[in-house]
Structure 1
Amino acid sequence: MENEPTTCPAGSGEPAGLPTGRDAGCPFDPTAGLGELREQDPLVQMRYPDGHLGWLATGYATVRSIFADPRFSSRYEKMHYPFADLGPIPPAPVGDMTGIDAPEHTRFRKLLISRFTVRRMRELTTRAEEITTDYLDAMERGGGPVDLVEAFAQPIPALMICELLGVPSADRDKFQRWANIMITQSTDQEAAGAAMAALGAYMSDLVAEKRANPTDDMLGDLTASDLSHDELTGLGAFLLGAGLETTANMIALGTFALLNNPDQLALLRADPDLAPQAVEELMRYLTIAHTTMKSALEDVELDGKVIRAGETVTMSIEAANRDPLRFPDPDVLTLDRKATGHLGFGHGIHQCLGQQLARVEMQVAIPALIARFPSLRLAAPADDVPLRTGASIYGVHSLPVTWDEA
């Protein structure tokens, strides 16, 4: 039959592998191989490192459709890892909302959604402005050069999460030390693991304290819910990781991208009110959460093909956000572009719960940084900036910057 679905892309030979890495001199662009596959077909069969025959989705409409389709599971243990053969993937840790499905996921999300409203995030804007000013003042007093990750991009979201979760002021220095290790030493798995363990133990003690003496913050509020101690502890650790690593890397990599695009930097500096639109475009253009997976719970017909039950689909969010069928001239950073609808925060029931907080932090921090230091520039060649090419969240390990003294 002419319209009968097939299980392999038209005109294809061997199943594709997942193109990885960044092309030389293009730290902000996905590898060209992803775009080439997207032009061939937005959904192609893919051979996984463990031998599994699954799929790779690169087109915007295709990726968005999979995100929204309840016939695809987010459970880690049902998936095959696309980057290396790591053996069976274990289930999500307790409290990790990204690796579970409804109704378990629904239970967590309903409890949290009222804590992440636009109104409540706006209330945190004043605090974000105060924290940002404090770190800009410290940078100005100390002078350049500095590592922007350590001096600015990492501590702002760390302290904002402290505000949200209700970490006492006396504990915030050690909280930040653990967070800094996890962000800036991500290549040292032993150090990062030790910091995560210490943070988990601290979170368990904090939850116990808030159960005994409830406070007016997210963890304090949730002690009145039906979440168990382990669930609330795990959820606190999950929210830290989800909100810290992503926003810290967006602030640092976003600044790097602006310094590499001086016309766009000048545009934002001249019109700070452009910040909300600029943040959406940076999210689209950079797509630091670049790849995710789903597993088919049943046979699904999509794009004229059949994804069989149990097959993993790898979704290249970075390729989808550079799809010219959705975003004209997608490889050009255009801060006044209407980039709404980008998939940088995901889509569907797993769309990033903390996206409004992330927006507040980026809309405050980036414009304030470039306004405070009009001569801000890299303090090392762009090619020497260490990139997080092997990480699930893309970004920079460090970003050396400097400026002219006033």
Structure 2
Amino acid sequence: MGDTKAKFTDTRTGFIDILMCRYEDEHLALWMKIVFCFIWIVSIPNGLIYGVDTDYIMALFSIILMLLLNIAVSRKNYRTWVDVAAFIIIAIPVFFVYYHACIGYFSVFFPLFFSSVAVFILGIRNSFFINIICSVIILICSRTYGKMSVRHIYGDNVTLRFPYIYVCIILISYCLMYAIQKYWVDKRRRKQILQIRIEEENKHLHAMSMRIMDTMTNALDAKISGEKEHCVRVAGYCRQIAQMKKLDEKMCEYAYSAGLLHEIGMVGIPDRLIRKDSLTDDEYTVYQTYVTKGYEILSTLQVEDTINVAQAVKYHREYFDGTGFVEGLKGNEIPVLARILSVADYADRHVMRGETPEKIISDIKYMEGTRFEPGISLYIGKVLME
């Protein structure tokens, strides 16, 4: 019983969602307006042949002018309320033609066609109240007697039957529009489900990447004592600087990951070189490869957008004037995350040596434009002085 009730509730909610669906196909609305406008244009010579008065021609011109204006506005900046306002205005000449039978019995097609097209241009929600008002007007006109009444002009044979024909045609239009809007709602739901799945997969990948990074930093710490603590601090510095530079949330997370893994290439460097205080030129050349080794390791990970992190690790020893390693990049050729990582790594290395924040900031400011990007001392200064 509970399952049946839940299923009914879901069906009812879906039905309401479809009825209240916002208009989603601007191209459909545009083509319907063009068709609508074309039919009114064709009606002008038809009226002239029939021998109508100038009131009919003026009514048609006002309809066509409003439609052309609406098309011009909607093509540049589509707004549903503009369409609604346009159709409320168009209804006036439409019902003028109907009430005065400007083109004889053919005049009944004006409100009929107007209401049907309104459904496809405005959608169910926005056209409903307009068509309710139109239906009431037609019903009142069909029940009113007098020399100037619609019944007197068209006769009972047409007048009494027209409201029923009108309602039937409009209901058919609404059924067709319901099918169209159901497609829009189903499409939106499929997109939402896909987006939820993507977000869940991204969360899974993020959790997996964090486990991988933790494993890597533990392995590095086992090789070089105290390196994990250094990497964690550098990661924090990187994220703070990225936030101060107004990078987006993802880039801030990439900055943190880059800081956490910037020394991972050291696992591929011989222990004897890591422990030596002074290296020969050949040994230093081997030592420098730790950044490319780190890049290669990170590039093999199947986690979200590792390229940003991998490039930051690879280029964080490049200098702003182009004298760093490994490729001699300079200026803005160096990725922004690599420039952030460079100063964060330098700052923490010197904190570990016992230098004061003031001295570190002063040294970094002195090296702006050569080793570090100009202005970076302001960011690292705020981080170190907190």
Same fold (TM over 0.5): no
Greater C-alpha Rg: 2
Higher relative contact order (CA 8 A, sep 6+): 1
* TM-score, structure 1 as length reference: 0.21
Higher helix content, 1 or 2: 2
Higher strand content, 1 or 2: 1
